Amino acid sequence: MKTITAPYRIEGGVHPAYRKELARERAILAMPPPGLVRISMAQHLGAPAKPLVKKGDTVLRGQRIGEPGGFVSAAAHASVSGTVQAVGPAPTASGALAMAVDIESDGNDTSLEPGPRHDNWAELDAKTLIGLVADAGIVGMGGAGFPTHVKLSPPPDKTIDTLIVNGAECEPFLTADDRLMREQADGIWTGISILRHILGARSVRVAIEDNKPEALKAMERAMAGAEGDVTLIVLPASYPQGAEKQQIYGITGRETPSGGLPMDVGCLVENVGTCLAVRDAIVNGRPLTERVTTVTGDPVAEPGNILNRIGTLYSDLIAFCGGLRSPATKIVSGGPMMGFAQGSLESATAKTTSGLLALAPDQAPVYESLPCIACGRCVRACPMTLLPCELSQALEAEDYELADAFHVMDCIECGCCAFVCPARRPLVQHMRGGKARIALKRREAMQNNKEKG
């Protein structure tokens, strides 16, 4: 095992005020089970899970309450024991409605018996281990939420030679992954080793930004003595250094093709939290029912990194951190660059909820959007080397063909363009809306072709 600085520099990017000092030194604190959890069936990319319970059913912690709704989907599990109070639509962090299961805790927190414990995981084949990952409902916990068992099952012609473990946590304010690496490094390394075994990957690269020295030391100790091509990569602190395609380039120099996936260049990227969840599923026989979330921001009385049950209402999470000591203009699920502003605190944590951020009035002022002044700052900041100013104007004119030709579908919605725009244009919203319209048009065209064929 060796430690090196990232050999390549990513394009574009920005350097926002990171403000990680608010929660960085707060050790992970376990929150008691709340009185009610709201577990969404749409905590991942792909088809939502299908509820398996109805109002009045009693459930145990760890019990499966949602089955995958398709190949790209994930199971959902009860995070407390108690009684199902409702099954119906509820808002997700993005504001969209999805089926959710409300469970009133009985206060006993009774768990199902753990599944089989596989300390001998190295003796199991990949198919068996992937099945256990699927049974545990594990998804990417860095934010995207792609079902992990699907990611671990690339087509036969897509050989994965490099497993990249993402510990960059480049979003300002968030420190959940930092604390997880400091406090659970050995468990994370076990999960990494299991993933490496499943993939048969020759190389392992663990990537951490240089503004997390304690996490770097902890992972270095955990990885000491690792066999084969294993390297700890020190990334320069830069946003969006943790984005999948940027990280692949920064570490390997490989460029993911337009419209392509990491598997197209022989790589697979997993978040450190996902690796720990894999360890828990395989070695401890536990499904994914809890995660660490950073609750932070100047208005929060006691910022911290909270181990909370999936489905915890945002209102309960903030209350556990002492509430708000001063007014908050905006509450954001996630980080300030890619998170979603909340209309209320009745949404609940999901497998992908890395942070809950309260912003003070001076941190979230109301701006008026003005016409583009063609300054080019967004072009220089874009890590995907796109032309955000041109894309934005094409999308405002509803010229989706032009936006598609300008590769809007390659936008990773990182927010760098909006961050540097002096005209305060809603560039990310333009891209997100345009991508949705283009994706819909493509699906409609495919359906029409099927009907004609």
Amino acid type, 145: G
Spatial separation of the C-alpha atoms in residues 334 and 375, rounded to whole Å: 29
Chain-wide mean pLDDT for the chain?
95
Average pLDDT over residues 145-174: 96
Spatial separation of the C-alpha atoms in residues 163 and 183, rounded to whole Å: 22
Average pLDDT over residues 404-410: 95
The residues with which 165 forms a beta bridge, in sequence order, are: 206, 270
398's CB contacts (< 8 A; 6+ apart) are none
Average pLDDT over residues 400-410: 95
- Asked if 246 contacts 233 with a C-beta cutoff of 8 angstroms, the reply is no
DSSP summary character for residue 219:
H
Amino acid type, 106: D
Residue 279: alpha-carbon gap to chain centroid: 18
Give the tens place of pLDDT for each residue, 185-217.
999 999 999 999 999 999 999 999 999 999 999
Q: Which contiguous run of DSSP H or E holds residue 177?
A: helix 176-199
Average pLDDT over residues 385-412: 95
Give the tens place of pLDDT for each residue, 107-150.
999 999 888 899 999 999 999 999 999 999 999 998 789 999 99
Average pLDDT over residues 36-41: 98
452's CB contacts (< 8 A; 6+ apart) are none
Give the tens place of pLDDT for each residue, 236-287.
999 999 999 999 999 999 999 998 999 999 999 999 999 999 999 999 999 9
What pLDDT score does 114 carry? 83
What pLDDT score does 453 carry? 65
